[in-house]
Amino acid sequence: MEVRESYIKGLLEITPRIFKDDRGHFFESYSKREFEKIGIFDDFVQDNQSYSIPNVVRGLHFQKPPFAQAKLVRVLKGRVLDVAVDLRPDSPTFGKFDSIILDAEKGNMFYIPEGFAHGFSALGEAIFHYKCSNFYNKESEGGICYNDPDLNINWMIKNPIVSEKDLELGKLAGLKVT
């Protein structure tokens, strides 16, 4: 397993060792023991999966405390641009984001600790999977509009397809995360 640390403390790109032969491939996508070796001690309690057509943008979503969630995200089919925005009030990178391309062929994952907004854009047809460290709670959901000019995220797509709910999300400026 290869681990790359982001410039934002806590964000990790994790790329598993893939064993390939003429039959296909195999890799271990999650091992609590191996993840604890790299400092991830979350107890993942819920798995979610979504399917997106090309150019879909989902997010930027988060859960407020006490229902905040760490996430381990990956793509089962296709490629996405995955984005995490630091919402930790005492963080020196508050309001900054990092992004990576998650690719089913590469098998890479993005670990996002509690205290981040999260979203992605489908760079083609994509099946997205993520583990959460806490259960979803509707009353604790929050979000930032994907096209917030203060973030200026390049989603790497033209003509984004965004849900009405996500279009109504507010901006980072003045956001209440607690």
Distances (CA, A) of 86 to 33, 89, 96, 153, 164: 27, 9, 6, 13, 24
Which of 61, 111, 118, 146 is catalytic? The answer is: 61
Cα–Cα distance measured from residue 119 to residue 34, given in angstroms and rounded to the nearest whole number: 26
Q: Annotated catalytic, 7?
A: no
Count CB-CB contacts under 10 A for residue 119.
27
Which of 118, 129, 130, 146 is catalytic? The answer is: 130
Q: Annotated catalytic, 30?
A: no
Please write down the HEC assignment for all residues of 81-103.
EEEEEECCCCCCCCCCEEEEEEE
Cα–Cα distance measured from residue 12 to residue 8, given in angstroms and rounded to the nearest whole number: 9
Q: Which residues are catalytic?
A: 61, 130
